[in-house]
Structure 1
Amino acid sequence: MTEVGRKYVFDFDSTLTRVEALDVLAEMTLQGKSNRDAVIHEIQEITNLGIDGDISFTESLERRIKLLKANKDDLAPLVDELRQKISKSIAANKEFFEKYSEDIYVISCGFKEFIDPIVKEYNIPSDRVFANTFKFDEEGNIIGFDEKNVLATHNGKIECLKQLDLEGEVQVIGDGYSDYVMREAGIAHKFFAYTENVHREKAADKADHVTPNLDEFLFVNDLPRSLSYPKNRIKILLLENVHPVAFDNLSEDGFSVELIEESLSEDELIKKIKGVHVLGIRSKTRLTPKVIDAANKLLVVGAFCIGTKQIDLDYCKKKGVVVFNAPYSNTRSVVELAIGQIIMLFRNVFTRSTELHNGIWNKTAVNSREVRGKNLGIVGYGNIGKQLSVLAEAIGMRVYYYDIEDRLAMGNAIKCETLEDLLNVSDVVSLHLDDNKANHNFIGEREINQMRDGAMLLNLSRGFVVEIPALVEALKGGKLSGASIDVFPHEPKSNGPFASELQGIPNVILTPHIGGSTEEAQRDIADFVPNKIMYYINSGNTVDAVNFPNIRLPKQNKAHRFLHIHRNVPGIMAKINDVLATYEMNISGQYLSTDSDVGYVITDLDRDYNKEVIKALKKVENTIKFRVLY
């Protein structure tokens, strides 16, 4: 049981539940009324005035009940609704309420009629719930409240707690100033401002501790909890203007998230990354060994893009840092841009557009051709290459492809055994290569000379795969009749000035690395990558990690989970299990995956553990990282 004498006093509205119950009741009883929104808004304003102590609570109650026009029959549906509105971290820690129920009290200015049935499910009996009660008329209409109840008066919570005369340390957990006053009056020892549902400055400024969720409260008090480490203490840094949905997804799951619009230099990132558990980047931020060494708490990196060449994957793995990317989320966006650019190149659209912008009308069919019947050569037949193959064939193009891997053809596409074969046959070549260093200057003077006279080139893959001076020479000399370049060997860190030798050449489309930059793609990435991050942080799953052994874990079922990352040398599993046996731990499940460098073992345990076992597991030779999940 809890330490002798400590008592926990909880508020109800906006603490145990995510909502103010009377506000919910108003939404129900005013349904269909023409003035519903205005009345609800007025009730909410009165609620806040009372909570912050700006009007007497008696006045707050009187004014709201007059506006409610509720009946006793409305209370059962209200309770059903409130059951769905329990605060997330409260519901996740139901075991705490059941185990410590003798030391838990509810003091609320709400009403027992709807509080009792809710907290009863958390093992809190009615005699430890102190709240107001309604008055009803003969038809069951709510016409008022018991004015004699001390909680119906201004600062009634102070008097209520005084009358309880609880022994030992009293801790109050609530969202409003009306909860803090018990601490101010000296009858409570600590006040925890509960901000999971609403952050009231007047309460938070006065609090001994601001508590974004119940996990934080339990962590501070060293009490049993659903998570060994509160999510609000896990710091996430998102760079390069990652889509705001990613911020929302991670914040809503309880993490502390900071969003920075631009990329950071190595020195800037070294200063910023200390204490960060999760880093989210796009293509411009470089994650070097020096940065990784400075990241003293880093667990996982999310690349909100396809490529990972900006990340030292091997060094991350060596340090036990898992990396996820978004290999599929922007595929369609890149393919659609490629199709559009192919059509615009064949129609010479940008040349005509530039002429019009310069005041020249030049209506002509010269160098303007359909794409139907033309040969498209796709270099790199991965996810993007295959989708491009299908769409290009659908608009009447003949598709050829080349890939160093043995790839199955889509539709009627024809596989070329060599790059030269593809270049010889293609009217337009589209590059979709990965960030392998071997692809540096993949297309240079020699390869361009192997292309058909008057052919065109697209690069929506990596900036370093095309030798730009050779391309410029081929375009100016007439060997190639057009090009579309979305990626460049050197790209600015942020939006602003840009210069390239390709500027000003007719029938050359230049775009600022926007192949995957559509609202749909960025939204998909902002869902996909955070989900992978959250699965890893919350459960240890490494499915789709690009640098780590992949393990798909079952959902925890009232078990403790130990996550152990180690160098892949013989005997580590035996040493881990020797430690667990020494401390008489009963293993309910164990999962191991390795690659040539590291091993990742997850152990589920079905009983409480001595904290000394954690120290022992961290000391196992060749341990890289160790983490505990409850």
Structure 2
Amino acid sequence: MKKILMMSVREDEEEAIENWSERHPDVEVGIDTGELHADTVAKVKGYDGVVIQQRSLVENEVYAELKNLGLKQISTRTAGYDVINVKLAHENGLKVTNVPAYSPRSVAELALAHTMRLIRNLELFDERAEEQDFRWIGLKGKEIHTLTIGIIGAGRIGGTAAKLFKALGAKVIAYDIKPNPELNKVLTYKSLNEVLQESDVISLHVDLNETTKGLIGSEELALMKPTAFLINECRGPVVDTDALIAALKNKKLAGAALDTLTGEENFFNFDLRGKELPSEQLKELRAMNNVILTPHVGFYTNVAVQNMVDISLDDVLAIISEKRSDHEI
């Protein structure tokens, strides 16, 4: 019987794991709540494969140890794989897989939800309601069909978001280094500067790599309309957070919705009630009434969670069975 260890398992994933296991009675799936690190890699002993989902880096010494333990792969049940040193993994004979499309709709729908809250000033109405101020003066909303939505990164998720916005009547423009002709009926491709200058809402959907770190900085933010909103549903380091805070303070932007932040591994998905927040940037953003913060939950839907488990385990099983996974990096 083949054995696979799932690490960093949350309680809400257990049903999905059980569902997969029922369909694969010849595979034993072990569950561990910890992350994969130098001081935990010994837990993998006796298993044929390992699946992770974590925000902190896998240390370099782990890859050689996985090789010594007889493993041939390391899989992450996420789209992003920047916590894995792919080059070092390959040098140690480990194949690396991710889940590039667990559910494009899950993230795209959150981008739409964030957009609707911002353009209807719902976060500001919530603030007034908490103070028992039920006036609407000064908070006139905008209808989405009157707006231009700019998609930066029109891949699986960005392309799905574009289709949702288009279906609601919005004009959609996009920037992507690899334009997809199949989206030409949905959006119009333009340069990055043009998208920034012309859009009423910018929605970010790029991968995190050396070319996208700091993609949206002070210069890019200065190109946006002062009435525009920025939405980040991809990765925190894509945006220069200090530059964003400055733009918001100086009213160079109307607002922002952020599902991800640089340094989020220190606060997102933690109960910090009554505790000092570990990030000055987070404190500043929370103090702004035109900023919506969600703790990286774009992936967190019924369909996406099941798909992340299914696809990652399918990939591991393929590799340890001497077959090829379609998601090898």
What TM-score results when the alignment is normalised by the length of structure 1? Answer: 0.47
Which of 135, 143, 158 is residue 370 of structure 1 equivalent to? 143
Q: Which residue of 2 aligns with 1:257?
A: 29
Q: Which residue of 2 aligns with 1:273?
A: 44
The answer to whether the aligner puts 1:533 opposite 2:316 as a matched pair is yes
Which ranges of structure 2 fall in alignment gaps of 5 or more residues?
A: none
Q: How many angstroms does 1:360 deviate by?
A: 2.8
Q: Which residue of 1 aligns with 2:65?
A: 294
Contact 1:332 1:384 in 2 (8 A): yes
Contact 1:283 1:308 in 2 (8 A): no
Q: Which residue of 2 aligns with 1:581?
A: none
Residues 270, 293 of structure 1: alpha-carbon distance in 2 compared, 3 angstrom cutoff: same
The amino acid of 2:230's aligned partner reads L
Q: How many angstroms does 1:303 deviate by?
A: 1.2
Contact 1:390 1:411 in 2 (8 A): no
Contact 2:154 2:179 in 1 (8 A): no
Contact 2:4 2:51 in 1 (8 A): no
Equivalents in 1 of 2:293, 2:319: separation in Å? 39
Equivalents in 2 of 1:240, 1:464: separation in Å? 25
Q: How many angstroms does 1:253 deviate by?
A: 3.2
Which of 122, 126, 130 is residue 357 of structure 1 equivalent to? 130
Which of 104, 109, 116 is residue 343 of structure 1 equivalent to? 116
1:588-607 to structure 2, matched below 5 A, reads none
Task: Give the secondary-structure state (helix, strand or coil) at the position aligned to 1:438.
Answer: coil
Equivalents in 2 of 1:291, 1:448: separation in Å? 39
Percent sequence identity is 27
Alignment RMSD (CA, Å): 2.0
Equivalents in 1 of 2:305, 2:4: separation in Å? 22
The amino acid of 1:452's aligned partner reads K
Q: Which residue of 1 aligns with 2:100?
A: 327
1:173-572 to structure 2, matched below 5 A, reads 230-231=1-2, 234-241=3-10, 243-244=13-14, 245-250=16-21, 252-264=24-36, 266-295=37-66, 296-364=69-137, 366-408=139-181, 409-416=183-190, 418-492=191-265, 495-497=270-272, 498=277, 499=279, 500=282, 501-538=284-321, 540-547=322-329
Residues 536, 247 of structure 1: alpha-carbon distance in 2 compared, 3 angstrom cutoff: farther
Q: How many angstroms does 1:381 deviate by?
A: 1.0
Q: How many angstroms does 1:526 deviate by?
A: 1.7
Q: How many angstroms does 1:442 deviate by?
A: 0.7
The amino acid of 1:255's aligned partner reads V
* Alignment coverage as a number of residue pairs: 313
The amino acid of 2:26's aligned partner reads G
Equivalents in 1 of 2:226, 2:34: separation in Å? 42
Q: Which residue of 2 aligns with 1:200?
A: none
Task: Give the secondary-structure state (helix, strand or coil) at the position aligned to 2:102.
Answer: coil
Residues 477, 328 of structure 1: alpha-carbon distance in 2 compared, 3 angstrom cutoff: same
- Which one scores higher on RCO, CA 8 angstroms, separation ≥ 6? 2
Q: How many angstroms does 1:525 deviate by?
A: 1.7
What TM-score results when the alignment is normalised by the length of structure 2? Answer: 0.88
Contact 1:486 1:513 in 2 (8 A): yes
Q: Which moved more, 1:267-276 or 1:319-328?
A: 267-276
